[in-house]
Amino acid sequence: MRTNNIFNHKKLMFLFLIGSIGFTGCKKFLDINQNPNNPDSADPSLLLPTVQAADGQIVGNAFQVLGNIYAEYWTQSPSASQYKVVEQYVQANSYYDRVWNTIYRNALVNAQLIINNKGAGLEYTKGMAYVLKAYTYQVATDAFGDIPLTQALQGNAYGSPKYDTQQAVYDSVFNYIDKGIALLNTKTSVSPGNQDLIFKGDVSKWIAFANTLKLRAYLRISYKDAAKAKAGIAALYQTNPTFVAQDAAIQYSTVGGNENPFYNEMVGLGKTQNVVASGTAVLALKSNNDPRLRKLYNKVPSDNTPAGDTIAYILQGTYQQNPTKKVSFPTPLVAGDANDPASATVPVKLISLSESYFLQAEAVARGFAVGDATALFKSGVTTSFTATGLTAADANTYLASAPDANIAGAVSLEDKIKIIITQKYYAMNGLQGFEAWTEYRRTGYPTFLVVSKASLLGAGLMPQRFIYPNSEVTTNLSYPGTVPVTTPLWWDTTN
Amino acid sequence: MKHKLLRIFMVCFFCSASMAFAQNKTITGTVTAREDGLPIPGATVKLQGTTTGAQTNANGKYSLSVPAGSKLAFSFIGYTTQIITVGAQTTIDVTLVSDAKALSEVVVTANAIVREKRSLGYSAPTVKADELTEGGSASAISALTGRVAGVNITSTSASPGSSSRIVLRGGSSISGNNQALMVVDGLPIDNSSITGGADSRSSVDFGNRGNDINPDDIASITVLKGPAAAALYGSRASNGALIITTKSGKKNTEKTSINFNSQNTFSSILKLPDLQNEYGQGYYDDPTANPVTYINDPRENGSWGAPFTGVVQPWGQEIDGVQQTKAYSAVKNNLKDFFTTGYAADNNLSFSGGSDKSTFFLGLNALNSNGILPGNSDSYNKYGVRFNGNTDFSNKFSAGISINYSNVSNSQAAGGQNASSVYNNLLQTPRDIPISQLQDLTNKYNGYGYTDANGIAHPNSYGYYGAYVLNPYFVLQNFKNLSNVNRVTGNVNLGYKPLNWLNITERIGVDNISDRRRFITPKYNFVPADTESGNYSAADRQTNVGAYQIDQYNITEFVHDLMVTASHKFNEDFQGSFMVGNNIRQRGTSTTQTSTNTSGGLVVPGWYNLANSNGPVNVITDNISKRRLVGLYADLNLSYKSLIFLEGTARNDWSSTLPVQNNSFFYPSVSGSFVFSELLKSTSLANVLSYGKLRSSWAQVGNDTDPYQLLSTFARTTINGSFGSTTFPFGSVPALQAGTTIGNINLKPEKTSSFEIGTELGFFNNRISADFSYYKNKSKNQILTIPIPNSTGYGFALINAGELQNKGVEVSLRGTVVKTENFSWDLFATYTKNNSEVISLLPGIDQISLGGFGGMGIVAAVGKPYGEFYAVTNQKDSQGRTVINPNTGLPVATSSAQYLGSYNPNYQASFGTSVKFKQLSLNVLFDTKQGGKLYSRTKDITGFNGTSAETGGPRFGVPFPNSSYLKDGVYVPNTDVTYVKQDLYTGGVNPGVDIIDASYVKLRSAALSYTFTKSQLRGTPFGALTIGLYGNNLFLWTSKENKFVDPEVNSSGAGNAQGFDFSSQPSVRNYGIDLKVSF
């Protein structure tokens, strides 16, 4: 090492001399600007897991917190403060900087780079990238409404991408899904294999995922544009679609940096338990005598009373009024216990199996598709039970007795939708909070959500969207202005 | 030509030889200065018309053998030459008078070239050693504050080792480096600053590398403000340069001069936020009840509780069945009492001397300081050795060496908003908590882990009252941010003067820095000791997985300069010189940052080693870089009498960092000076105007960029959440992602052009002198790394864009009010006004973002000054009233960001006075900056916590001051809708509200010293002795709306994102006593 250094000095001195005498060696002397630290190209198979892990962070962390609080499964703990602003319904623009960054710079741009790649044998990888792009855009527009799309992801070509309407974004989502499915149907191509964190390169599962996503997206616009939703779903069913037969999920491990993103976030926050059981969800589960209650929330620490075997909650947003109350936490089953490492290995569900059944049940109930809505509904409830470690028998007991599961008693379409969405709400507790809140905004179900006690919005108002990030406010010259959190989204006709 | 010169040479030689045979006698004597009567060592005594001469020794004595009747010339720099004809006497004592006309005042300019000040076509003020050291500042840069017009210095905390940023004439670059180049003895040195921590929000100020220079080693600093002055340094000097000349020995000294200087400095906190003293710990229960009910939650960090009652009541945890009690009243000085008095000992010992051929200077320096935080967690220890030596060889060669080694070990507390930020934890102390009494961590109510009365250990329990913040004393003891720097800077130069008119100089320098940093975060898991009262729950745990991080930074820079100078005297009046040179430099860096697994942390608590990582070690950064630059330059100087001087320079650079097709860039400069007072010499006007000079210059400087900026790249995937992150490899799956910045393969060099005109005037035998400058700088084709919307898919783009203009005036005045033998009184003042304006950016784009944090953006917008705050703020109606939401009474946010002012001051000024009475001397210096803005997180967090003064007063039942709301399409004054203060401040204040006026006036420095006379020292071993009291950063007056922070505090240290107080370490006032002795 040392001799090497001396040699370099000598070499340098020699080069100095050359430089002083003339510039014959100058060109070579100055040709040292190749970056030794970072590659300037990347194989699509290396970009694919980036897109997936980014979606894992979006749905499994940032939107997980916001969604589970706005869906009122969880509420801010009286013993901490991190999500008080969420409960107050009023956040600064900068609150959304991080997740917007993850959406565009981790998920979408890398999906786009896969799609742009000119290499051979990339049909499957590109198909997955299209489906993930559609998935990400849908999540983003369901959060923020109008967002950059046509001019987005093009670097300097559009330095200030304009905002497209949510309607246009949805049109693009359908388009991307179609392109993805077409590519995934390619006869011969190369699977990315284990570089695919979701389905390990299984193309048929990706097609099922794409179909389910399409169903989700059409149903989302069903109130705003029923004809389009109906036509789109009918066309989908024409293709004899498969739907997901297992959760579309990313599996995490206990290795540092590879844990469930929300658990990893809690570790970063010093394992502070910020989220606790909300009265909204707990009371609803209790009133249906739902055995999932004890799977989703832990018992209050028994140091309070020897018989501490209750699920204790506080009402949504009442952290200030209950400073010393001992409250149940979400369990490690939903990655909600900051101090139980079992939370680390919990998957992030992009679309769950039970959600798939509920989507199909709704499509059939609405007459957009043909099938047995009740059977699909019951499969939705049953798979939700089994996903929490309960049995099909437990589900049957519940289906037979729970008022909120009484599909047989639902006469009108609206009654059926109410039951289906309310059960979907129960099924999404903890792991699909954002989707549950989004479906609440779409349908108004379940009906038992309340205004957070900590709200600073004014009487009766609830958030209907997230506000644009500060990074766009200060850098995007096409910034359309901050839309208030109380303004409903385009597809939201319930207000 | 050559022969002619040779002939002259021969004649001279024979002349002097023949003189030796004439009738000679030996003359001895002493040369003294009239001002102080002290001997002048190193003065020249020369036999007129010959090369025969001698120099005075350390005692001002000389001895010379000369023929009778000859004429002797006594000269010394800065003094009028005296000519005395040798008569019968053998002793000639001469008293030299300082040259009031500053005729021979010399200035060290670019490439260590010494020039007469009068010949310069640009402003180049020089600050001498005594001015630099009189305030006792440990940083040579911050010691310049207020000394020179046109210089904007921001010293963060003013404690030893903290950052100082120096910008000359406004920033020329929008997002690049704006600081002046530092040059020591001809060698440009590194003045980078790498802030510890991820960004300004968790910053650890390890200072800037310019701090490594020991102020006591410095003989003078010349400030070359504009590109004209610095054009020869090329690219790096587009922001001007500080030409630092270190001390050297004097020739022909009889004995080695030994100087010892010891400074003992004490520091105390300068400014803390103004706090309310009405409400204590807790928060409201029911704001609609009458009276309002409160919850006195003992875990709280907020002061939103009930009004103080003074009643003794329990507080904190109940441990072993006992809860402490105290009066429920404000502890007014609870923050102030936390801080202790800092102490720094700065000792300098130097040896210097010289023979007739050689000189040397050896300086030793030790600076040991412990800052104002309790304990020794904020310490700064610097040891330095400097050796300067020069020798003239008989064969027309001369050689010199200048070498400096320094070792700096630095331990600093983190600022910002993280758990490890001491100040952040401290600021979040309720007004009734006596924080300074919670220092004893063995006390079970203060600490973490305790043993109860029965001898049972509770290692996992904590007794501290706060559940959301840590005891700052615990943080100080357990979180460490350490840096150890080893640095060698030096150059060797070789001069060869083959002919009288030809001079060849070769200089090779190296600057080698190694900075090894270690960051220690303890691993702990504590639950409240209180399981009885029900006030605390197991959920109130304090947990950290622990971390250990090592950052290693290496910088190696080589510089070579070869200069060939030819000078020629065309006739008595007309002279010229021409220099051509070659410059090559190479800068290599390597950076590695490695930490234990981010979420796994440490396995074993207390063992800080990467081998103790719980999970894979996290490689944060592993980078190397190398850049080279080759330059060719030429410099032509012409002078006519001492009346007119002209200079032209030209330089071409080739840079490795630019694309091959654009990597060569050429830039010229011209400057001139016209000493018009020479024409008035014989007129009566000369009695009034003793010196007058007009100067002007125009110059251009090119600039390159950092290495590896041309191509977009990919990086290993890390997907960040807000506090956690998903990192790859994911299991065994590797991944890459698009890099942050879009590269630019067509990058062009930047060009800064500047025009300057100025005058220097001296009146009444220079008792009053004035210096005015007007300048206009334009930077074009700026290389900018600009934040772009993330919706583009990228975070930053590298572009060539923009034209930024800085124009301004600089005025310095100096006057002697009284001057008698025993008493003198001098005044001086400077005034600087710089207007920066963004002229253009990109085609079709009139605004770009420069950076920002916490909802606050800083932008460059066409027509606005560089660095404008841009943020969402409270909406105002047309009458300036705050618009509120009539449902809640709370202010409504603007739907888009607003321009909220620039951090650049409107003007800055300084005023100093110096009084000497016999051996006593007093120097005082004030400086001010007026009109800039500052974002204060200290304001934000003390508002959030309900401790700042503005959260005092009525908290319920009153409308927001001067507010209105929209009713039927018009804004009506709000007299009825009330708001809840706690909801406003804890619900997230709009970031624009935290922008405050950064204006200030500071008593920058003051010094009182007493110098003993020779007669007083007779019989002692001392040659000279001075004792003094001094202080710097002594008093601060801020604007009315700044009740929070010293506006100079800056979280990004010396970085470009200025104007951010992110609850970084508060600044200090320094004062002390010093002793200067020479033997």
Does the pLDDT of residue B200 top 70, yes or no? no
CA B156-B159-B163 angle, to 5 degrees, is: 40
pLDDT over 90, % of chain A: 78
At residue B15, the pLDDT reads 38
pLDDT interval class at B99 (50, 70, 90): low
Q: Write the DSSP assignment of B931-972 as a string of letters.
A: S-EEEEHHHHHHHHTT-BGGG-S--SSBPPTTEEEEETTEEE
pTM comes to 0.83
Residue type, B1019: G
Mean pLDDT along residues B977-1002: 90
**pLDDT by residue (tens digit) across B151-179?**
777 777 667 777 777 777 766 555 566 77
Tell me how far apart the alpha carbons of residues B761 and B768 are, in angstroms, rounded to a whole number.
Answer: 8
**pLDDT by residue (tens digit) across B262-298?**
989 999 999 999 999 999 999 988 888 888 999 888 9
Judged by DSSP in three states, A222 sits in coil
At residue A308, the pLDDT reads 55
CB contact under 8 A, A474 and B728: no
CB contact under 8 A, A194 and B732: yes
At residue B6, the pLDDT reads 41
Tell me how far apart the alpha carbons of residues B390 and B188 are, in angstroms, rounded to a whole number.
Answer: 20
Mean pLDDT along residues A9-14: 51
Can you state the percent helix, strand and coil of chain A, rounding each to 5? 55, 5, 45
From A464's Cα to the closest Cα of chain B, the distance in A is 17
Tell me how far apart the alpha carbons of residues A162 and B791 are, in angstroms, rounded to a whole number.
Answer: 9
From A97's Cα to the closest Cα of chain B, the distance in A is 9
A196 → chain B, closest CA residue: B733
Mean pLDDT along residues B115-135: 79
Judging contacts by C-beta atoms under 8 Å, the chain A residues touching residue B885 are 458
Q: Write the DSSP assignment of B345-366 as a string of letters.
A: EEEEEEEEEE-SSEEEEEEEEE
User: Which of B628, B724, B847 is facing A30, going by the closest CB pair?
Assistant: B628
**pLDDT by residue (tens digit) across A114-161?**
999 999 999 999 999 999 999 999 999 999 999 999 999 999 899 999
**pLDDT by residue (tens digit) across B791-826?**
999 999 988 878 889 899 999 999 999 888 889 999
Residue B611 near residue B595, CB atoms below 8 Å: no
Does the pLDDT of residue B14 top 50, yes or no? no
Does the pLDDT of residue B377 top 90, yes or no? no
Q: Find the helix or strand (DSSP H, E) in which A266 lies.
A: helix A261-268
CB contact under 8 A, A32 and B598: no
Pairing of strands B61-67, B24-33: antiparallel
- Predicted complex ipTM: 0.91
Number of A–B residue contacts, CB under 8 Å: 355
* The two structure tokens encoding residue A22: 């003339």
**pLDDT by residue (tens digit) across B836-871?**
898 988 877 788 877 776 677 888 889 988 888 988
pLDDT interval class at A418 (50, 70, 90): very high
Cis peptide before B729 (omega within 30 of 0): yes
**pLDDT by residue (tens digit) across A93-120?**
889 999 999 999 999 999 999 999 999 9
Residue A46: how many other CB atoms lie within 10 Å: 23
**pLDDT by residue (tens digit) across A380-403?**
999 999 999 999 999 999 999 999
pLDDT interval class at B509 (50, 70, 90): very high
At residue B678, the pLDDT reads 87
CB contact under 8 A, A479 and B419: no
CB contact under 8 A, A257 and B719: no
CB contact under 8 A, B543 and A457: no
At residue B170, the pLDDT reads 64
At residue B128, the pLDDT reads 84
Judged by DSSP in three states, A228 sits in helix
Tell me how far apart the alpha carbons of residues A445 and A436 are, in angstroms, rounded to a whole number.
Answer: 9
Tell me how far apart the alpha carbons of residues A191 and A201 are, in angstroms, rounded to a whole number.
Answer: 5
Mean pLDDT along residues B450-470: 89
Buried b (16+ CB within 10 A) or exposed e, B309-335: eeeeebbbbbbeeebeeeebebbeebb
Residue with tokens 């990893």: A264
At residue B693, the pLDDT reads 92
User: Which of A37, A49, A339 is facing B624, going by the closest CB pair?
Assistant: A37
CA A446-A374-A290 angle, to 5 degrees, is: 50
At residue B16, the pLDDT reads 39
From A140's Cα to the closest Cα of chain B, the distance in A is 11
Does the pLDDT of residue A25 top 70, yes or no? no
Judging contacts by C-beta atoms under 8 Å, the chain B residues touching residue A27 are 660
Does the pLDDT of residue B616 top 90, yes or no? no
From A16's Cα to the closest Cα of chain B, the distance in A is 7
pLDDT over 70, % of chain B: 93
CB contact under 8 A, B888 and A108: no
Residue B1079 near residue B185, CB atoms below 8 Å: no
CB contact under 8 A, B584 and A270: no
B895 → chain A, closest CA residue: A482
Residue with tokens 């920066």: B836
CB contact under 8 A, A50 and B854: no
Does the pLDDT of residue A494 top 50, yes or no? yes
Q: Which residues contact B848 (CB under 8 A, 6 or more apart)?
A: A475, B174, B784, B786, B787, B801, B802, B841, B842, B859, B860
Chain A interface test: which of B530, B561, B791 (most A C-beta within 10 Å) = B791
Chain B interface test: which of A85, A88, A105, A144 (most B C-beta within 10 Å) = A105
Residue A324 near residue B540, CB atoms below 8 Å: no
Which of A326, A301, A297, A332 shows the shortest CA–CA distance to A311? Answer: A297
Q: How far is CA A48 from CA A112, A397, B227, B795, in A?
A: 10, 43, 50, 20
Mean pLDDT along residues B1023-1046: 90
Tell me how far apart the alpha carbons of residues B266 and B1033 are, in angstroms, rounded to a whole number.
Answer: 12
Judging contacts by C-beta atoms under 8 Å, the chain A residues touching residue B846 are 477
Q: Find the helix or strand (DSSP H, E) in which A364 lies.
A: helix A353-365
At residue B7, the pLDDT reads 46
Does the pLDDT of residue B101 top 50, yes or no? no
Average pLDDT, chain A: 91
At residue B199, the pLDDT reads 54
Backbone angles phi, psi at B113, to 5 degrees: -85, 130
CB contact under 8 A, B896 and A36: no
pLDDT interval class at B1013 (50, 70, 90): confident
**pLDDT by residue (tens digit) across A217-257?**
999 999 999 999 999 999 999 999 999 999 999 999 998 88
Strand partners, B528: B462
